[in-house]
Amino acid sequence: MRLHDLKHRPGAKHRRKRLGQGESSGHGKTSGRGGKGQTARSGSSIRVGFEGGQMPLIRRMPKRGFNNARHTVDYIPVNLAGLNQFDDGARVDETALRTLGLANGKLRRIKILGQGDLTKKLTVSAHAFSATARAKIEALGGTCEVVAKPAAKGKAAA
Protein backbone atom coordinates (compact mmCIF):
# COMPACT_ATOMS: atom_id res chain seq x y z
CA MET A 1 0.00 0.00 0.00
CA ARG A 2 1.29 3.46 -0.95
CA LEU A 3 0.19 6.95 0.03
CA HIS A 4 -1.71 7.37 -3.23
CA ASP A 5 -3.77 4.27 -2.37
CA LEU A 6 -5.20 5.77 0.86
CA LYS A 7 -8.86 6.72 0.70
CA HIS A 8 -11.40 7.92 3.24
CA ARG A 9 -13.81 5.37 4.62
CA PRO A 10 -17.22 5.37 2.88
CA GLY A 11 -19.46 8.04 4.40
CA ALA A 12 -16.59 9.87 6.13
CA LYS A 13 -16.50 12.74 3.63
CA HIS A 14 -19.55 14.87 2.86
CA ARG A 15 -19.97 17.22 -0.06
CA ARG A 16 -20.35 20.87 0.92
CA LYS A 17 -23.89 22.19 0.44
CA ARG A 18 -23.61 24.53 -2.56
CA LEU A 19 -26.16 27.32 -2.22
CA GLY A 20 -27.69 29.39 -4.99
CA GLN A 21 -27.01 26.88 -7.80
CA GLY A 22 -30.43 27.07 -9.47
CA GLU A 23 -33.95 25.95 -8.63
CA SER A 24 -33.46 22.27 -9.36
CA SER A 25 -30.54 21.96 -6.94
CA GLY A 26 -32.86 22.19 -3.95
CA HIS A 27 -30.88 25.11 -2.56
CA GLY A 28 -31.58 27.75 -5.18
CA LYS A 29 -33.45 31.07 -5.01
CA THR A 30 -33.47 31.78 -1.24
CA SER A 31 -30.55 29.36 -0.57
CA GLY A 32 -32.18 27.64 2.40
CA ARG A 33 -32.94 30.91 4.24
CA GLY A 34 -36.71 30.76 3.80
CA GLY A 35 -38.65 33.85 2.82
CA LYS A 36 -37.95 37.52 3.44
CA GLY A 37 -37.28 39.11 6.78
CA GLN A 38 -34.55 39.52 9.35
CA THR A 39 -33.13 36.01 9.09
CA ALA A 40 -32.89 36.22 5.27
CA ARG A 41 -30.43 39.12 5.48
CA SER A 42 -26.67 38.70 5.55
CA GLY A 43 -25.01 39.22 8.91
CA SER A 44 -28.25 38.69 10.80
CA SER A 45 -28.17 37.05 14.21
CA ILE A 46 -30.94 36.92 16.76
CA ARG A 47 -30.12 36.09 20.35
CA VAL A 48 -31.58 32.97 21.97
CA GLY A 49 -35.06 33.57 23.36
CA PHE A 50 -35.72 36.70 21.27
CA GLU A 51 -39.34 36.81 20.12
CA GLY A 52 -39.33 39.76 17.74
CA GLY A 53 -39.97 42.39 20.42
CA GLN A 54 -42.80 40.46 22.06
CA MET A 55 -42.27 39.98 25.79
CA PRO A 56 -40.15 36.80 25.96
CA LEU A 57 -41.50 33.67 27.61
CA ILE A 58 -38.86 33.68 30.36
CA ARG A 59 -39.98 37.18 31.39
CA ARG A 60 -43.68 36.30 31.18
CA MET A 61 -43.32 33.39 33.61
CA PRO A 62 -43.88 34.22 37.28
CA LYS A 63 -40.80 33.93 39.47
CA ARG A 64 -42.30 32.91 42.78
CA GLY A 65 -41.69 30.26 45.37
CA PHE A 66 -38.76 28.65 47.07
CA ASN A 67 -35.56 27.89 45.22
CA ASN A 68 -32.84 25.85 46.93
CA ALA A 69 -30.14 27.26 44.64
CA ARG A 70 -30.43 30.64 46.39
CA HIS A 71 -29.39 29.10 49.70
CA THR A 72 -26.51 26.83 48.71
CA VAL A 73 -23.08 27.18 50.28
CA ASP A 74 -20.33 26.54 47.72
CA TYR A 75 -16.82 25.45 48.64
CA ILE A 76 -13.57 25.01 46.74
CA PRO A 77 -12.73 21.31 47.22
CA VAL A 78 -9.18 20.40 48.24
CA ASN A 79 -8.21 16.73 48.60
CA LEU A 80 -5.85 15.41 51.25
CA ALA A 81 -3.44 14.01 48.66
CA GLY A 82 -2.60 17.57 47.60
CA LEU A 83 -1.61 18.55 51.14
CA ASN A 84 1.45 16.27 50.96
CA GLN A 85 3.24 19.12 49.15
CA PHE A 86 3.64 20.94 52.48
CA ASP A 87 6.50 20.27 54.91
CA ASP A 88 5.95 18.14 58.00
CA GLY A 89 4.50 20.24 60.85
CA ALA A 90 3.54 23.13 58.55
CA ARG A 91 0.47 25.33 58.98
CA VAL A 92 -1.88 25.10 56.00
CA ASP A 93 -4.36 27.94 55.53
CA GLU A 94 -6.24 29.58 52.67
CA THR A 95 -3.35 31.73 51.48
CA ALA A 96 -0.95 28.77 51.45
CA LEU A 97 -3.43 26.68 49.46
CA ARG A 98 -4.01 29.46 46.93
CA THR A 99 -0.30 30.17 46.41
CA LEU A 100 0.39 26.50 45.62
CA GLY A 101 -2.61 26.44 43.25
CA LEU A 102 -4.56 23.84 45.23
CA ALA A 103 -7.52 26.21 45.74
CA ASN A 104 -8.28 28.25 42.64
CA GLY A 105 -11.36 30.25 41.79
CA LYS A 106 -13.53 33.09 43.00
CA LEU A 107 -15.26 31.13 45.76
CA ARG A 108 -14.22 32.25 49.24
CA ARG A 109 -14.77 29.05 51.23
CA ILE A 110 -12.50 25.99 51.20
CA LYS A 111 -13.45 22.45 52.21
CA ILE A 112 -10.89 19.73 52.84
CA LEU A 113 -11.99 16.35 51.48
CA GLY A 114 -10.66 12.93 52.42
CA GLN A 115 -9.62 11.70 48.95
CA GLY A 116 -6.12 10.23 48.99
CA ASP A 117 -3.70 9.58 51.84
CA LEU A 118 -1.93 12.13 54.00
CA THR A 119 1.63 11.31 55.07
CA LYS A 120 2.56 14.39 57.12
CA LYS A 121 1.46 15.95 60.40
CA LEU A 122 -0.16 19.28 59.52
CA THR A 123 -2.18 22.04 61.14
CA VAL A 124 -4.93 22.67 58.62
CA SER A 125 -7.31 25.62 58.85
CA ALA A 126 -10.25 25.71 56.42
CA HIS A 127 -13.92 26.61 56.37
CA ALA A 128 -15.10 22.98 56.45
CA PHE A 129 -13.78 19.42 56.68
CA SER A 130 -15.32 16.14 55.62
CA ALA A 131 -15.50 13.49 58.34
CA THR A 132 -12.90 11.26 56.64
CA ALA A 133 -10.50 14.18 56.11
CA ARG A 134 -10.76 15.19 59.77
CA ALA A 135 -10.16 11.59 60.88
CA LYS A 136 -7.10 11.15 58.64
CA ILE A 137 -5.52 14.47 59.70
CA GLU A 138 -6.04 13.80 63.41
CA ALA A 139 -4.83 10.18 63.09
CA LEU A 140 -1.38 11.51 62.15
CA GLY A 141 -1.37 13.93 65.09
CA GLY A 142 -2.39 16.98 63.08
CA THR A 143 -5.13 19.44 63.97
CA CYS A 144 -8.16 20.79 62.10
CA GLU A 145 -9.15 24.40 62.67
CA VAL A 146 -12.48 25.63 61.36
CA VAL A 147 -12.24 29.21 60.11
CA ALA A 148 -15.18 31.57 60.61
CA LYS A 149 -17.20 31.68 57.43
CA PRO A 150 -16.97 34.95 55.46
CA ALA A 151 -19.98 37.21 55.83
CA ALA A 152 -22.53 37.17 53.03
CA LYS A 153 -23.54 40.48 51.44
CA GLY A 154 -25.59 42.50 53.91
CA LYS A 155 -25.46 39.89 56.67
CA ALA A 156 -23.38 39.43 59.82
CA ALA A 157 -20.74 36.69 59.94
CA ALA A 158 -22.11 33.30 60.97
Asked if the model's pLDDT at residue 2 lies above 60, the reply is yes
3-state helix, strand, coil in the chain (%, to 5): 25, 15, 65
Q: Side chain identity at 28, as an amino acid letter?
A: G
User: What is the side-by-side order of every strand in the sheet holding 110-113?
Assistant: 76-79, 110-113, 128-129
Asked if the model's pLDDT at residue 128 lies above 90, the reply is yes
Give dist(CA 88, CA 90) in Å, integer: 6
The SS3 call for residue 78 is strand
Q: Report the pLDDT value the prediction gives residue 64, as an integer from 0 to 100.
A: 87
What structural domains and CATH numbers belong to the chain? 74-146 (3.100.10.10)
H or E stretch at 34 = none
pTM beyond 0.85, yes or no = no
Give dist(CA 136, CA 112) in Å, integer: 11
Give dist(CA 151, CA 109) in Å, integer: 11
Q: Sort residue 89 into left (φ over 0), alpha (ψ -120 to 50) or beta.
A: left
Asked if the model's pLDDT at residue 154 lies above 50, the reply is yes
The 10s digit of each residue's pLDDT in 61-88 is 998 888 888 889 999 999 999 999 999 9
- The CA dihedral of 7, 8, 14, 16, to the nearest 10 degrees, is -50
